[in-house]
């Protein structure tokens, strides 16, 4: 893997032009991104790693992706630090190592990256790779939520709803669920819908659940469909039937 000398001035990175090239000619885009990455353009190094993970414009190569994430991370790119953490957490292109994942998430979080805060908080909350620390996890979720991170907003709401680590505050929880839902988090949409159903606002709940069912992860859908299918509200049961897997 060729890397530029420290004194080299990396070439400019035209994100808009590369986005168009990725759409129309992915193999050509990969070649250009690889050229820029080898020339020392840090943003291109991170993008090259992502293309290798996803197999965009080239054969999928998670091991090579990890190497390029590491190059970009060592060059100070917070996004690459976070993604390198994900590779170590999930065992993508490298053996799973949650302790090492926590190291990289912490570095990304220290640079102000909301995803780094969120991922580090997840490890803290479950005690993977570092001692379990729910108070520390909540503090990180709160920081990420304040930056507009939708998944963290939903988790802040859960802590407030359940009174975990912080005093229970139903109104604050409702506000955070609403913010998470508006930011597009499908779990936030489902949680807000649950509260609205308790308040008798069925039409608003149906709208939120329609969005959640359209964008939810497979694991989320597998869990929530059976619950909604037994709802006492016919509108909810009709909605679930319309989103049943084929």
Alpha-carbon Rg for the chain in angstroms: 21
Least Cα distance to 212 among 199, 203, 201, 225 occurs for: 225
What pLDDT, in 10s, does the model give residues 56-70?
999 999 999 999 999
Round the average pLDDT of the chain to a whole number and report it: 93
- Mean pLDDT on 173-182: 98
> Distance (Å, rounded) from C-alpha 138 to C-alpha 167?
12
Contact 212, 192 (CB under 8 A): no
> Distance (Å, rounded) from C-alpha 123 to C-alpha 120?
5
> pLDDT-derived band of residue 6, with 50, 70 and 90 as boundaries?
very low
- pLDDT number for residue 16: 77
- pLDDT number for residue 182: 97
* pTM for this entry: 0.90
Q: For 5-19, b where at least 16 C-beta lie within 10 A, e where not — what string?
A: eeeeebeebeeeebe
């Amino acid at each position: 893997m060729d890397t530029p000398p420290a004194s080299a001035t990396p070439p400019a990175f035209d994100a808009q032009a590369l986005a168009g090239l990725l759409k129309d000619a992915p193999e050509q885009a990969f070649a250009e991104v690889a050229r820029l990455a080898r020339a020392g353009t840090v943003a291109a190094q991170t993008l090259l790693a992502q293309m290798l993970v996803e197999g965009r414009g080239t054969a999928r190569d998670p091991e090579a992706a990890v190497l390029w994430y590491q190059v970009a991370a060592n060059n100070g790119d917070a996004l690459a630090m976070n993604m390198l953490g994900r590779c170590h957490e999930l065992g993508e292109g490298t053996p799973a190592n949650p302790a090492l994942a926590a190291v990289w998430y912490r570095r990304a979080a220290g640079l102000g990256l909301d995803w780094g805060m969120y991922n580090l908080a997840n490890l803290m909350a479950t005690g993977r790779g570092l001692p379990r620390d729910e108070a520390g996890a909540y503090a990180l979720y709160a920081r990420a939520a304040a930056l507009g991170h939708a998944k963290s907003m939903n988790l802040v709401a859960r802590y407030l709803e359940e009174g975990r680590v912080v005093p229970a505050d139903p109104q604050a929880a409702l506000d955070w669920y609403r913010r998470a839902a508006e930011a597009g988090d499908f779990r936030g949409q489902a949680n807000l819908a649950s509260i609205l159903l308790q308040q008798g606002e069925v039409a608003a709940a149906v709208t939120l659940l329609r969005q959640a069912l359209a964008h939810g992860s497979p694991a989320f859908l597998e869990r929530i469909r059976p619950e909604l299918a037994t709802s006492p509200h016919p509108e909810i049961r009709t909605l679930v039937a319309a989103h049943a897997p084929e």
